[in-house]
Amino acid sequence: MPPTNNNTTIDAGEPTSEDQLTHIRRSSLALDPAWDAETNSLRHLGDLDDDDLIPIAYFPLKANLNEAPKTKQEGLHPSASAGDVSAYSQGSSDDIWQNVPMGAPDAILGIAQAYRQCEDPRKVNVCVGAYRDDAGKSYVLPSVRAAEKMLWESQEPKEYLPIEGDKDFVRCALKFAYGPNMDIDTHVAAVQTLSGTGACAIGGRFLAQFWKNHPIYVPDPTWSNHISIFNQCGLDCRKYRYYNRSTNALDLEGMLKDLNRAKDGSIFLLHACAHNPTGCDPSLEQWKEVIDVVRQKHHVCFFDSAYQGFASGNAEVDAQAFRYAVSQHVPILLAQSFAKNFGLYGERVGTLSVVCGDAEQRDHILSELRLIIRPLYSSPPRHGSSIVKTVLMDPALKEQYYEECAGMALRIQKMRVKLVQALQKAGSQHDWSHITGQIGMFAFTGMNEAMCQQLTDEFSIYLTMNGRISMAGLNQKNLEYVAASIHVVTDGKSISL
Ligand SMILES: Cc1ncc(COP(=O)(O)O)c(C=O)c1O
């Protein structure tokens, strides 16, 4: 139906190639309210209200834009209407976006797409950062399903959440992260976020505004999105040594040196557990050394906790690094995700919290976080946070959840052992013990880019080119095939730099 405005049917006309029409999509512009009869010209967009109508209008190329768009009554093309978008493809030669370059594809999502297109029946996806069960299927936790049923039965509303999200969810999430002894009402300013990515982005913006001119250091290597996120926030993003590829182990010495060398008050992004991509975490003793230097240098810790509970199978153990840091009174931000540990990948549920001195500081920080969020997406989605809240507030469901989460972690740990056994069975002479020593979703195998490429090209095994494989993508059916293929590409070659 053509849009009407003040009882006038707007007919924007239909561009054709012969009369070389150009189109102008006035996406927040209504035709009639935009027309200033007094000056006989278009009013400035800023004069319009949010609620003005949004038709699409087309104007002849050489038309005088100061001429009012014609109405049906004035005899423009009778077959076209203001809602007819079919002409859009015809007039694209003079498109204003013609100079937009093709952006680089996302490394990980591009591999996932190549996997989908691959027709080799042997194909294996060990790139995916999402849990799969032993049949290779994606998995919804039964406790999550039960919570959804409860929400359905209680007629969960669809109203907007406040800017900072669902208060009860945030409270449950903070208890889950910081433990029962933290005075979250006084010492934690927190908002619900669009999963862990959103939490990093909100935290990054907050730091760019309120901890200005301090660089943020991320581990080398790290989840590649960290660098994009913090750059986009306007932070000066640098790397600190984290992993030694010649020993396939944590480079604690290098890490401590870099913490010491950084100028006082720098920000350090720390993976709370299950470091992505290496699966290599400091022990608690090593964390203590790290936090000691952080305290001496007045650094700020930005913990990214994307795998709490999913790493060891015990949410308390996986929280020990940042809980220890809190106990040492170093400045802390925490990005929390419920994508992996609750299997709520697509629901986009997480929190960003800032540990602070007192309730007044908390209110100030919260007010600024609201100001960051409001123009970005106004308020977070509610279904995922309702699920997490329902699970964590119901004692029986919470207990069930803990068992299910531990079950995912256990399956992955078993796969580590089985992969190393299968590699040995395939005849590999390498020491693969780092794979069983690592934790979380990924194994950082030590394979170089050429080996990874060969695995993809010759064996249809899809992985990132840094040698990272998703343990969740391995199962009884594909384990031996993957191990035998890895043996072929690594046999007689080094798996360390
Ligand atoms: C270290 C790390 N941080 C954050 C995330 C963010 O994930 P999401 O936005 O899905 O919670 C991921 C996901 O892979 C991750 O590995």
Q: At what angle do helices 383-393 and 142-153 cross, to 10 degrees?
A: 110
With respect to residue 148, please indicate whether it lies within any of the assigned structural domains. no
| Residue ranges making up the domain that contains 89 | 4-94
Regarding whether 118 and 74 lie in a shared domain, the answer is no
Q: In the structure encoding, which two tokens stand for residue 12, read together?
A: 């924007």
Angle at 316 between CA 315 and CA 321, to 5 degrees: 105
C-beta 169 within 6 A of ligand 1: no
- What distance in Å separates the CA atoms of residue 209 and residue 221, rounded to the nearest whole number? 26
With respect to residue 218, please indicate whether it lies within any of the assigned structural domains. yes
Question: Distance, CA 197 to ligand 1 centroid (Å)?
Answer: 6
Q: Which of 297, 340, 389, 418 is catalytic?
A: 340
Nearest by Cα to 326 from 117, 194, 113, 184: 184
pLDDT of residue 117: 95
pLDDT of residue 39: 55
pLDDT of residue 79: 53
- What distance in Å separates the CA atoms of residue 64 and residue 36, rounded to the nearest whole number? 15
Regarding whether 175 and 255 lie in a shared domain, the answer is yes
C-beta 197 within 6 A of ligand 1: yes
Protein residue closest via CA to atom 13 of ligand 1? 306
Locate tokens 């060990």: which residue?
Answer: 126
Judge whether 493 counts as a catalytic residue: no
- Give me the residues of the chain with pLDDT under 70, please: 1-82, 85-94
Q: Which of 200, 304, 349 to mutate to test the pocket of ligand 1 (most atoms within 8 A of CB)?
A: 304
- What distance in Å separates the CA atoms of residue 473 and residue 125, rounded to the nearest whole number? 6
pLDDT of residue 69: 47
Last residue of a domain, one of 393, 422, 452: 393
- Residue-wise pLDDT for 71-88, tens only, equals 444 444 555 566 776 666
Regarding whether 46 and 186 lie in a shared domain, the answer is no
C-beta 440 within 6 A of ligand 1: no
- Residue-wise pLDDT for 406-444, tens only, equals 999 999 999 999 999 999 999 999 999 999 999 999 999
Q: In the structure encoding, which two tokens stand for residue 86, read together?
A: 């079919």
Q: In the structure encoding, which two tokens stand for residue 107, read together?
A: 């490394």
pLDDT of residue 419: 98
Terminal C-alpha separation, the chain: 65
With respect to residue 151, please indicate whether it lies within any of the assigned structural domains. no
Q: Give the torsion sign (CA, 44, 49, 51, 52).
A: negative
pLDDT of residue 46: 41
* Phi, psi for 446 (deg, rounded to 5): 100, -5
pLDDT of residue 81: 63
Regarding whether 363 and 414 lie in a shared domain, the answer is no
With respect to residue 124, please indicate whether it lies within any of the assigned structural domains. yes
- What distance in Å separates the CA atoms of residue 106 and residue 206, rounded to the nearest whole number? 26
Regarding whether 327 and 252 lie in a shared domain, the answer is yes
Which residues fall within 8 angstroms of residue 491, CB to CB, at 6 or more apart? 427, 428
Regarding whether 125 and 240 lie in a shared domain, the answer is no
Regarding whether 305 and 165 lie in a shared domain, the answer is yes
Judge whether 263 counts as a catalytic residue: no
Per DSSP (E only), the strands in 174-262 are 188-193, 216-220, 237-241, 243-244, 249-250
State how many domains the chain has.
3
Regarding whether 172 and 67 lie in a shared domain, the answer is no
Q: What is the CATH number of the domain that holds 464?
A: 3.90.1150.10
Regarding whether 389 and 475 lie in a shared domain, the answer is no
With respect to residue 145, please indicate whether it lies within any of the assigned structural domains. no
Q: Which of 258, 304, 318, 389 is catalytic?
A: 304
Is 4 strand, coil or helix?
Answer: strand
Last residue of a domain, one of 39, 71, 94: 94
Last residue of a domain, one of 94, 115, 147: 94
With respect to residue 130, please indicate whether it lies within any of the assigned structural domains. yes
